[in-house]
């Protein structure tokens, strides 16, 4: 097994290093850390705690990964941080492990881009191909679905869920759950439509996009109650997989309400 460790780096002998790992100057690696094959750490990276990082992930200078969560209730429980393969974690990113109240696990999937200054708090669950733009901030227990994009300088309230393929506009404060394929924006974010650009880029078919458009209009129409409209959408689009994603997301129990369109718009 071969790996490269700069002489100024401090690596606990108990750390597990995969083949081809590269550790740059002044990095500090704790004893419970596991680095997969071909993980590359640039200079001044700190990785601590019970943290595993998947193969091919690259971490840039001054990132702090796996240090104790920013939660006053945390008393040193044996929590974990799992980061998948082929992620790019840029400068000054901070990612914390889980807590007792959230299942003791923070988890990030594969092929994510976490840009400069972003923060992933304790007990967050992030899917695959997610992008966190510069200074995006995730509070504790946030769930982010596959292919979602979290805009720069945005802030997500604790326990918020972001559906797959959703887009969060820059500088948005997100207090409520965001449906799959939705786009939200604003100082206190409101639902601003569907993430049509993202859907087209990812190869969704025209009939799928049309189903989503029609279901969205029906779901957020002014007539009737939200629960009545949800039932109507569920019945009318029972054979549509993409619409069922939204219906299932809304029906899943959550501590946060669903983000709605701005009535004043």
Q: Which residues are catalytic?
A: 122-123, 140
Backbone angles phi, psi at 26, to 5 degrees: 65, 20
Backbone angles phi, psi at 87, to 5 degrees: -85, 150
| Residue 68 DSSP symbol | P
Q: Which of 24, 23, 29 is nearest to 10 (CA)?
A: 29
Residue 227, classed as helix, strand or coil, is helix
Contact status, residue 240 vs residue 208, Cβ threshold 8 Å? yes
Q: Which of 149, 137, 138, 82 is nearest to 109 (CA)?
A: 82
Exposure letters 115-141 (e unless 16+ CB within 10 A, then b): bbbbbbbbbbbbbbbbbbbbbbbbbbb
Sheet of 113-114: strand order equals: 4-5, 22-23, 40-41, 58-59, 88-89, 113-114, 131-132, 149-150, 167-168, 182-185, 190-194
Compute the distance between CA of residue 183 and CA of residue 168 in angstroms, rounded to an integer.
6
Contact status, residue 66 vs residue 50, Cβ threshold 8 Å? yes
């Amino acid at each position: 097994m071969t790996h490269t460790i700069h002489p100024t780096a401090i690596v606990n002998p108990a750390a597990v290093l995969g083949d081809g790992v590269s550790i740059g100057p002044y990095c500090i690696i704790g004893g419970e850390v596991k680095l997969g094959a071909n993980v590359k750490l640039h200079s001044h990276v700190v990785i601590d705690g019970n943290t595993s990082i998947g193969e091919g992930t690259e971490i840039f200078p001054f990132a702090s990964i796996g240090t104790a969560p920013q939660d006053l209730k945390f008393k040193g429980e044996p929590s974990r941080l799992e980061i998948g393969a082929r992620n790019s974690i840029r400068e000054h990113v901070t990612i914390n492990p889980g807590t007792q109240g959230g299942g003791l696990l923070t988890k990030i999937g594969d092929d994510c881009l976490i840009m400069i200054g972003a923060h992933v708090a304790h007990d967050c669950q992030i899917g695959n191909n997610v992008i966190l733009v510069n200074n995006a901030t995730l509070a504790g227990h946030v769930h982010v679905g596959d292919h979602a994009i979290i805009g720069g300088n945005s802030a997500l309230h604790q326990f918020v869920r972001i559906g797959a393929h959703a887009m969060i506009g820059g500088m948005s404060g997100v207090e409520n759950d965001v449906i799959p394929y939705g786009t939200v924006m604003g100082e206190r974010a409101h639902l601003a439509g569907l993430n049509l650009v993202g859907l087209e880029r990812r190869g969704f078919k025209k009939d799928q996009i049309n189903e989503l458009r029609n279901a969205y209009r029906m779901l957020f129409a002014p007539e009737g109650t939200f629960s009545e409209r949800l039932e109507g959408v569920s019945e009318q689009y029972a054979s549509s997989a993409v619409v069922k994603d939204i219906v299932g997301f809304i029906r899943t129990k959550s501590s946060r309400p669903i983000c709605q369109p701005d009535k004043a718009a």
